[in-house]
C-alpha cells in the first residue's frame, strides 16, 4: 500500500462497518476493517438458525469476500480492546493499529441489566455461537425428555421453553419455536406433547413497541393462536437454570430461558475515552463524531453509538437502518476532512418503518400497515434482498418456500455432543 495515503480504521463488520468500508474502498485511502469474527452476520435471521430453519452459512458471509476486488481494504481479525486517542491508535488483542481516521461500528450485545445469575443460565441471541447453542440445547432437551426414566416433573421442566422480551427477536423466536414443536410432534412418537409449552414474557403491557397499537394486539392474537402463552406486564427477577422467578411471585420450572429483553453496547466502548450512555453506547454529535473526541478524527455509528438531537426523547434505536444511513454520512464527513473542509454534514434519520415475522406465512409490517400472509411476503422479500451473496438469496428463498409448503425443518441436528 502507498505511503502517505490516509489510513481509515473501521471496527466492526456489521451493517454499518461493511457499508462504510465499501464506500471508502473506491477512494484513494487505505482501509483496515477489524472484527473478532471473519464473517458478516445477518442478525435479523439469527432466530432462524436457533430454530433449525437456516444453516449458519446462509446468514454469515465471509468479510473478505465483500472486498475481493478492493486491494486497499485489509481485513484484520482481532478483538478491539480500546482506543488511545492521544496517539491515534486502536488497541486490539493482536497489537496496535495506528489510524488517521477511526470509525467504531462495533455493535451491541445482550443486556441482562446486571442480573448475573440470569446471564449465567439463560441464552443470549446475538452471535452465531449463541444461536447454535440454543439449537443444540432445545433439540437435546427433546431427546432427554423422551427418555423413559424421566419423572413427569423433570419432563415438563425440559419441555417448557421461555422467551423473555417482546421485541421483534422475542416475538419471532417464540413463533418459530411453536413451529419447531409441531414438527417434533410428528417425529417423536414416545413423548406426550401436552407437556410442551412456549411462554413469551414481556415486562411492559405490549409487544413490538415500534408498531401501531392495533398491530401489537394482532401480534399477541397470532402468537396465542400458534400456542404461545403470552405473559404481558410480567417481570423476571431471577433464574438459576432450574426455576424462573417472576416479580409477581410465580415460579416457572424450566431448563430453557432465551433472553431477548434488551441490548447494550459491547464492553469495549467504555475503553475508548468517550462518554457513554447508561446502556454503554458512546455519545456522538450530530456530525457523528464521538462527543469530546481529542482529535477531530474519531467517529462512531450504529448500535454502539448513542445519537440524539433536536426534540428526540431518547437515542435512536439499535436497528440496521440507523447504521447504514450513518455510514453514508460518516463517509462524506471524513472525505470532507481529508480534503480540508471542516463544514461537516449533520445526520438526520429517516425512519423506514418496522416489520416482524411471527412464523410461517405470518408477519406484521408497520408502514404501510399490514399483517398476515402479504405482510409475510413483504418481510421475506426485504430480508432476502439484504442477505449478502447471490447464492444465499437463492437457497434461503428455496428453504423458506419449502418450509412453507412441506413444514419440514432441515437443520435439526445436534452438533455439540462430546465424543
Contact between residue 133 and residue 414 where contact means Cβ atoms under 8 Å apart? no
Alpha helices in 164-212 (DSSP H): 168-187
**If DSSP codes are grouped into helix, strand and coil, which group holds residue 126?**
coil
**If DSSP codes are grouped into helix, strand and coil, which group holds residue 77?**
strand
The catalytically annotated residue of 172, 173, 179, 202 is 172
Summary count for the chain: helices (H), strands (E): 12, 24
Residue with Cβ nearer its own copies (46 or 236)? 46
Q: How far apart are CA 302 and CA 297, in angstroms?
A: 17
Count of residues making up the chain = 419
Residue with Cβ nearer its own copies (148 or 249)? 148
- In the bound complex, what is the minimum distance in angstroms from residue 144's beta carbon to its own copies? 8
What's phi and psi for 62, nearest 5 deg? -55, 130
- In the bound complex, what is the minimum distance in angstroms from residue 170's beta carbon to its own copies? 21
- Report strand pairing: 30-35 vs 60-62: unpaired
Cα distance from N-terminal residue to C-terminal residue, the chain: 47
DSSP state for residue 413 in the 8-state scheme: -
**If DSSP codes are grouped into helix, strand and coil, which group holds residue 415?**
coil
Residue with Cβ nearer its own copies (181 or 215)? 181
- In the bound complex, what is the minimum distance in angstroms from residue 401's beta carbon to its own copies? 10
Q: Which residue has the cell 396465542?
A: 224
Residue with Cβ nearer its own copies (245 or 412)? 412
Residue with Cβ nearer its own copies (243 or 408)? 408
- In the bound complex, what is the minimum distance in angstroms from residue 130's beta carbon to its own copies? 9
Q: Known catalytic residue: 172?
A: yes
- Positions in the binding site for its own copies (CB under 8 A): 36-39, 55-58, 60-62, 64-65, 67-68, 71, 73-77, 94-95, 127-129, 132, 139-140, 143, 147, 149, 186-190, 389, 391-392, 394-395, 398-399, 402, 408, 410-417, 419
Dihedral angle sign, alpha carbons of residues 273, 277, 281, 282? negative
Q: How far apart are CA 73 and CA 36, in angstroms?
A: 16
Contact between residue 30 and residue 1 where contact means Cβ atoms under 8 Å apart? yes
- In the bound complex, what is the minimum distance in angstroms from residue 1's beta carbon to its own copies? 8
- In the bound complex, what is the minimum distance in angstroms from residue 229's beta carbon to its own copies? 26
Residue with Cβ nearer its own copies (25 or 329)? 25
The DSSP-derived string for 308-358 is: --TT-SSPPPS-HHHHHHHHHHHHHHHHHHHTT---PPPP-------EEEE
Contact between residue 272 and residue 290 where contact means Cβ atoms under 8 Å apart? yes
Residue with Cβ nearer its own copies (356 or 388)? 388
- In the bound complex, what is the minimum distance in angstroms from residue 71's beta carbon to its own copies? 5
Dihedral angle sign, alpha carbons of residues 323, 325, 328, 331? negative
Using alpha carbons only, give the angle 364, 368, 369 rounded to the nearest 5 degrees.
Answer: 45
User: Mind telling me the catalytic residues?
Assistant: 172
Amino acid at each position: 500500500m502507498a505511503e502517505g495515503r490516509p489510513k481509515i480504521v473501521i471496527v466492526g463488520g456489521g451493517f454499518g462497518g461493511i457499508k462504510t468500508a465499501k464506500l471508502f474502498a473506491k477512494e484513494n485511502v487505505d482501509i483496515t476493517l477489524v472484527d473478532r469474527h471473519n464473517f458478516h452476520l445477518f442478525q435479523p435471521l439469527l432466530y432462524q438458525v436457533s430454530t433449525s430453519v437456516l444453516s449458519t452459512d446462509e446468514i454469515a458471509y465471509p468479510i473478505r469476500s465483500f472486498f475481493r476486488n478492493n486491494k486497499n481494504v485489509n481485513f484484520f481479525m482481532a478483538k478491539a480492546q480500546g482506543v488511545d486517542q492521544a496517539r491515534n491508535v486502536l488497541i486490539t488483542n493482536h497489537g496496535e493499529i495506528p489510524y488517521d481516521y477511526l470509525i467504531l461500528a462495533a455493535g451491541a450485545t445482550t443486556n441482562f441489566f446486571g442480573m448475573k445469575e440470569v446471564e449465567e443460565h439463560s441464552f443470549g441471541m446475538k452471535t452465531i455461537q449463541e444461536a447454535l447453542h440454543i439449537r443444540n440445547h432445545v433439540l437435546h432437551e427433546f431427546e432427554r425428555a423422551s427418555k423413559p426414566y424421566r419423572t413427569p416433573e423433570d419432563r415438563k421442566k425440559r419441555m417448557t421453553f421461555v422467551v423473555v422480551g417482546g421485541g421483534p427477536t422475542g416475538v419471532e423466536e417464540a413463533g418459530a419455536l411453536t413451529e419447531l414443536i409441531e414438527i417434533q410432534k410428528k417425529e417423536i412418537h414416545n413423548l406426550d406433547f401436552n407437556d410442551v409449552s412456549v411462554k413469551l414474557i414481556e415486562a411492559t403491557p405490549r409487544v413490538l413497541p415500534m408498531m401501531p397499537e392495533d398491530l401489537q394486539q394482532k401480534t399477541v392474537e397470532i402468537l396465542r393462536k400458534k400456542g404461545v402463552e403470552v405473559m404481558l406486564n410480567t417481570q423476571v427477577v431471577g433464574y438459576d437454570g432450574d426455576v424462573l422467578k417472576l416479580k409477581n411471585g410465580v415460579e416457572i420450572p424450566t431448563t430453557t430461558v432465551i433472553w431477548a429483553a434488551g441490548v447494550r453496547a459491547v464492553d469495549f466502548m467504555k475503553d475508548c475515552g468517550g462518554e457513554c450512555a447508561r446502556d454503554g453506547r458512546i455519545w456522538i454529535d450530530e456530525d457523528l463524531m464521538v462527543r469530546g473526541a481529542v482529535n477531530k478524527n474519531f467517529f462512531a455509528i450504529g448500535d454502539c453509538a448513542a445519537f440524539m438531537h433536536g426534540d428526540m426523547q431518547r437515542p435512536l434505536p439499535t436497528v440496521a437502518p440507523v447504521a447504514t444511513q450513518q455510514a453514508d454520512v460518516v463517509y462524506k464527513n471524513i472525505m470532507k476532512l481529508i480534503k480540508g473542509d471542516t463544514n461537516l454534514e449533520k445526520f438526520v434519520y429517516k425512519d423506514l418503518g418496522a416489520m416482524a415475522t411471527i412464523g410461517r406465512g405470518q408477519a406484521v409490517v408497520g408502514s404501510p400497515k399490514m399483517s398476515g400472509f402479504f405482510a409475510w411476503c413483504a418481510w421475506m422479500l426485504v430480508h432476502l434482498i439484504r442477505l449478502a451473496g447471490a447464492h444465499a438469496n437463492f437457497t434461503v428463498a428455496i428453504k423458506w418456500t419449502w418450509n412453507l409448503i412441506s413444514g419440514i425443518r432441515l437443520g435439526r441436528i445436534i452438533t455439540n455432543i462430546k465424543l
